Amino acid sequence: MEKIKIILTGESGVGKTCIINQYVNQRFDSAYLTTIGTDKYLKEITIKAKILKLEIWDTAGQERFRSVNTIFMKNSQIAILVYDITDKDSFKNLNYWYETIKDNNKEKVLYCVVGNKNDRYEERNVEEEEGKKFAKDNNMLFFESSAMDFESIEKIFIGASEKYVEEKEKEKELKAKNEKERKEKEKEKEKEKEKEKNINLNDEKNKKNNDNDNKKTGCC
Ligand SMILES: Nc1nc2c(ncn2[C@@H]2O[C@H](COP(=O)(O)OP(=O)(O)O)[C@@H](O)[C@H]2O)c(=O)[nH]1
Ligand SMILES: [Mg+2]
């Protein structure tokens, strides 16, 4: 079973913990969460007939002081950058979180931007188009959600996992194609070498025959 590490980052209060709680426990209750006191959650899903084990990491509140232990970000396959659609600053600060994740991951990471709390659309301060543009400019997926609405949250995790599997399959196909081409080229080279060898051998033979002929004519 393949394990996928997913991290949620973004400013304090944007709803990261509630998003995870809704996805894993199907409930919206931030008070209940503080009693859990853990920051790694597990959930299994099936994508394209493949069972994936999602390991979802939360920042457990340190983000308030910009003192997040960056070790928790390492070796992530998917990063979810969350902002609150009623809080412009939380959107502006996405770049900070993006850079921090980039700095802590050597391998490629799949990024998702999530504008959360869209049930509070009357207090909206970030237009959906702005979020979409940020995501597009940085080659990221985009979602709007409400941690109160399971469906909108499930879409994020399924959408991100599907994209991850798709990209991995593409990478595999490309690798296989490159390997095939490399082998074919090698074979071609081998053939060329063989041909050259045969030509040289024939040259050598012809030369010997000529020498013999010359000797013969010389002696008689
Ligand atoms: N209306 C609304 N409130 C939310 C939503 N998500 C989180 N909250 C509230 O926002 C506050 C911060 O949520 P929390 O998950 O602790 O944010 P975190 O600091 O990013 O983990 C809590 O009071 C939540 O009840 C949402 O989608 N809609
Ligand atoms: Mg939290």
Atom 13 (ligand 1) nearest CA: 15
Atom 28 (ligand 1) nearest CA: 117
CA of 200 to the centre of ligand 2 (A): 75
Between CA 121 and CA 129, with CA 123 as vertex, the angle to 5 degrees is: 60
pLDDT for res 29? 79
pLDDT for res 219? 53
**What are the mean pLDDT values of the chain's consecutive 10-residue runs (220 residues total)?**
94 93 88 56 93 90 67 91 97 94 94 98 98 98 98 98 95 95 95 88 79 64
pLDDT for res 186? 95
Query: 136: alpha, beta or left, given left = phi > 0 and alpha = psi -120 to 50?
Result: alpha
CA dist 176 and 203 (Å) reads 41
Counting ligands in written order, the one closest to the CA of 38 is 2
pLDDT for res 200? 81
38, 23 Cβ separation under 8 angstroms: no
pLDDT for res 36? 46
4, 107 Cβ separation under 8 angstroms: no
CA of 203 to the centre of ligand 1 (A): 84
pLDDT for res 213? 73
pLDDT for res 5? 97
pLDDT for res 53? 97
pLDDT for res 32? 53
Instruction: Give me the residues paired with residue 141 across strands.
Output: 112
Global confidence as pTM: 0.84
pLDDT for res 80? 97
CA dist 17 and 77 (Å) reads 19
Please choose from 24, 30, 120 the residue to mutate so as to test ligand 1's pocket, defined by most ligand atoms within 8 A of CB.
Answer: 30
